[in-house]
Amino acid sequence: MKLSAVFLLLLLGIAQAVAELSDPRDERRFNELAKTLRCMVCQNQSIADSDAELARDFREQVQKKINEGQSDTEIISYMVERYGDYILYRPPFNMVTAILWLGPFILVIVGFLMILRIVRRQEQPQADTEQQARLRQLLEKSADSGNESG
């Protein structure tokens, strides 16, 4: 999981509001936060990369709260309370979104179980497989040519 974080940082160039955050650590926090909040009036942009009035306003709000010493969780829950889950680019985990979060991983597990079954089934001894296969091929071929002419 941690490894993935490397790739994660990739997605957006972050524009910081003209540096009003003196501490570089705060600035980094702000950049990370701004990327996860949606500019709700834009087509599909975070507040970090939108020129919209609303995005600018949200950026200022977040900055103010960081300066007030609020934690990330506090800021996020404040935003969600006011604007709903829609503002979060990281959807919450609940009954409805469980499949969204777990689905791909379940698919990996199911997929590998299926492979397991395929190989297991193959391992069961089959009498004279090569000859069988050849026979089957012959049968298929004659069936094919039957189709063609019919």
Partner 1 sequence: MVPEIGHFALVIALFVALVQTIMPMLGAYRGIPELMAMGKPAARVQFLFIAVAFFMLTLAFIENDFSVAYVAQNSNSALPIEYRISAVWGAHEGSLLLWVFMLASWGLAITIFSKSLPEHFLARVMSVMGFTGVGFILFILMTSNPFDRLIPAAADGRDLNPLLQDPGLIIHPPMLYMGYVGFSVAFSFAVAALLGGHLDATWARWSRPWTTVAWLFLTIGIVLGSWWAYYELGWGGWWFWDPVENASLMPWLAGTALIHSLAATEKRGAFKSWTVLLAILAFSLSLLGTFLVRSGVLVSVHAFASDPERGVFILGFLVVVIGVSLGLYAWRAPSVHGGGRFEWFSREMLLLANNVLLMAALAAVLMGTMAPIVLDALNLGKISVGPPYFDVVFVPVMLPLVILMGIGPLVSWQAGDARPLFKKLRIVLAVSLVTGIALPLIAMGKATLMVAASTTIAMWVILSSAQYLRDRIKRNVGNKGLSAGVYGMVIAHAGVGVFVIGVTLSSVFSVERDVHMRVGDTVQINNFVFRLDEVKPVRGPNYHSDMARVNITRDGEQVAVLTPEKRTYFIQTMPMTEASIDTTLLRDLYVALAEQRDADGWALRVYHRPFQAWIWSGPLLMALGGILAASDRRYRVSARHILQARRKTASASVSDGAQA
Positions that interact with partner 1 (CB under 8 A): 1-19, 35-36, 38, 43-46, 48-49, 51, 84-92, 96-97, 99-101, 103-105, 107-108, 111-112, 114-115, 118-119, 122, 129, 133, 136, 140, 143-144, 147-150
- H/E segment holding residue 20: none
71 vs 137, which CB is nearer to partner 1?
137
Q: Is 47 exposed, middle or buried (0-12, 13-18, 19+ CB in 10 A)?
A: buried
CB of 150 to partner 1, least distance (A): 6
64 vs 141, which CB is nearer to partner 1?
141
CB of 70 to partner 1, least distance (A): 20
54 vs 99, which CB is nearer to partner 1?
99
CB of 23 to partner 1, least distance (A): 16
Does residue 88 sit in helix, strand or coil? strand
- Longest Cα–Cα distance of the chain, Å, equals 83
64 vs 107, which CB is nearer to partner 1?
107
CB of 15 to partner 1, least distance (A): 5
The first and second tokens of residue 18, run together, are 């003209």
CB of 112 to partner 1, least distance (A): 6
Please work out, in degrees rounded to the nearest 5, the angle formed at the alpha carbon of residue 17 by the alpha carbons of 11 and 22. 110
44 vs 69, which CB is nearer to partner 1?
44
Contact 85, 92 (CB under 8 A): yes
CA distances from 25 to 17, 28, 67 (A): 15, 5, 12
